[in-house]
């Protein structure tokens, strides 16, 4: 109760601070604006969208990087971040493309800048949104390489389950494939989120959205082995941690460490496809659809807020069926 009250009070104080800052900036002259720096405006924007939408640290870091890169550029042009015009932004994007910015990076950058200026407009800090009519070439959605069921089976069997680390790796891979978690969700799991009796995980996804995700008997078996044999050994003497999956040092695992583990185990069993940290998440969704799962059920399991995000996996499943038809039908 006290923690919730503190959160409400902090939200109110932050909103009050933002309103005061907006009023200050809105009524100030160009000379007075020096009292609220452009970098402070960016940080206030980040604080507000974090409080309002519960964005993850990775998402906030991406916004911060994009906005401070823009700030660096406008400073060289002797333009204020809140004084920038539509033509200035077009020039900025043009220069970034000339420097080799790819479509995917450009789309993300535009999304960050649009959100920033839309936020300023909504709070009456600016009267015209300079980013509103800027368009970036639409991305063709690239279908990720998806492992076949045989390849997944090889990957799951790659860790050496006679070793402490091997049991841990097997449990992580089994759980990832059984549940379709994001890697960030997997490594941030705490023991308390795991209900072994019910075979269910309580997951906090993007925007701190909570969902319940089932896992099967195989994942359950390896989790039991990990909790009984591996995790106690990884916990160093007199060391305590509530994190479910531990590194060799007895601490929480990073995304980079887990990504290295996937690549190492894939190389061990000769998997040469282009892999990503979400390889098993992609396989989870595609294999469910291949076996007749409803698209909306897959959406819920993946934690997608938009069904269109999940629909990319139907294209993968269809492409796989077409390839099978072409390879095996006498008139393919």
Q: Which residues have a catalytic role annotated?
A: 182, 206, 278, 281, 304, 313
**CA separation (Å) from 193 to 185, 212, 222, 305?**
11, 10, 16, 21
> What's the rounded Cα separation, in Å, for the pair 17 and 22?
9
Measured in residues, the chain has a length of 332
> What's the rounded Cα separation, in Å, for the pair 160 and 151?
17
- In contact, 144 and 180? CB cutoff 8 Å: no
Helix 279-290 vs helix 164-179: angle between axes, to the nearest 10 degrees? 50
CA atoms within 13 A on the CB side of 50: 18
> What's the rounded Cα separation, in Å, for the pair 266 and 263?
5
Q: Please provide residue 214's backbone torsions phi and psi, each rounded to the nearest 5 degrees.
A: -80, 155
16: tokens are 């009050």
**CA separation (Å) from 203 to 86, 193, 240, 299?**
41, 7, 22, 14
- In contact, 180 and 214? CB cutoff 8 Å: no
Q: Spell 70-81 as b/e; 16+ CB within 10 A means b.
A: bbebbeeeeebb
């Amino acid at each position: 109760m006290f923690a919730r009250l503190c959160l409400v009070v902090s939200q109110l104080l932050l909103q009050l601070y933002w309103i005061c800052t907006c009023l200050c900036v809105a009524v100030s002259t160009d000379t007075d604006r020096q009292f609220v720096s452009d970098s402070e405006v960016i940080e206030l924007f980040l604080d507000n969208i974090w409080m309002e939408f519960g964005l993850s640290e990775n998402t906030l870091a991406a916004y911060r990087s994009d906005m401070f890169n823009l700030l660096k550029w406008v400073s060289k042009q002797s333009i204020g971040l809140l004084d920038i015009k539509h033509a200035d932004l077009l020039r900025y994007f043009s220069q970034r493309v000339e420097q080799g910015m790819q479509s995917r990076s450009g789309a993300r950058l535009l999304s960050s800048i649009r959100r920033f200026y839309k936020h300023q407009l909504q709070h009456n800090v600016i009267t015209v949104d300079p980013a509103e009519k800027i368009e970036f070439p639409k991305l063709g959605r690239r279908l990720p390489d998806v492992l076949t069921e045989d390849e997944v089976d090889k990957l799951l069997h790659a860790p050496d389950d006679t070793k402490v680390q091997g049991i841990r790796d097997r449990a992580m891979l089994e759980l990832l494939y059984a549940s379709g978690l994001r890697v960030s969700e997997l490594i941030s799991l705490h023991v308390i989120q795991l209900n072994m009796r019910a075979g269910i995980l309580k997951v906090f996804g993007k925007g701190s959205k909570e969902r319940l995700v089932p896992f099967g008997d195989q994942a359950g078996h390896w989790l039991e082995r990990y909790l009984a044999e591996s995790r106690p050994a990884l916990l160093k003497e007199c060391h305590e941690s509530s994190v479910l999956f531990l590194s060799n040092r007895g601490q929480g695992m990073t995304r980079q460490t887990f990504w290295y583990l996937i690549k190492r185990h894939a190389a061990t069993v000769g998997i040469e496809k282009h892999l990503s940290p979400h390889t098993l998440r992609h396989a989870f969704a595609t294999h469910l659809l291949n076996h007749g799962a409803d698209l909306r059920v897959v959406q819920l399991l993946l934690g997608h807020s938009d069904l269109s995000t999940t629909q990319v996996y139907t294209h993968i499943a269809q492409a796989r069926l077409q390839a099978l038809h072409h390879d095996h039908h006498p008139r393919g």
